[in-house]
Amino acid sequence: MAIIRKKELKQMNKNQLDQRFNDLKKELMKINTQKSTGTNIENPGRVKEIKRTMARILTRLTESFEEVNQKT
């Protein structure tokens, strides 16, 4: 299950996307720290979800940046 749906992504503005990206980055760092110390991770599939969502956010930010450049 996706952390953020496409419809939600399209409705978010740049600041919200940046904030969500930073939150996901912190969560991924926390999980990687747990993995490196040998602690069992509650949900190992969450790593894949986080990475995919981060990629979607970056794609959305790039698309919106290109739209702004084309208008000028």
| Per-residue pLDDT reduced to its tens digit, 42-64 | 898 999 999 999 999 999 999 87
Q: For residue 21, what are the domain limits?
A: 6-35+42-66
Closest CA to 53 of 22, 14, 29, 15: 22
Q: How confident is the model at residue 26 (pLDDT cuts 50, 70, 90)?
A: very high
Does residue 72 belong to any structural domain of this protein? no
Does residue 47 belong to any structural domain of this protein? yes
Does residue 51 belong to any structural domain of this protein? yes
| Averaged pLDDT of the chain | 89
Does residue 58 belong to any structural domain of this protein? yes
Distance CA 17, CA 51 (A): 14
The total number of structural domains in the chain stands at 1
Does residue 29 belong to any structural domain of this protein? yes
Predicted pLDDT at 6: 86
Q: How confident is the model at residue 70 (pLDDT cuts 50, 70, 90)?
A: confident
Does residue 12 belong to any structural domain of this protein? yes
Distance CA 64, CA 4 (A): 17
Predicted pLDDT at 63: 85
Closest CA to 24 of 53, 45, 64: 53
Does residue 56 belong to any structural domain of this protein? yes
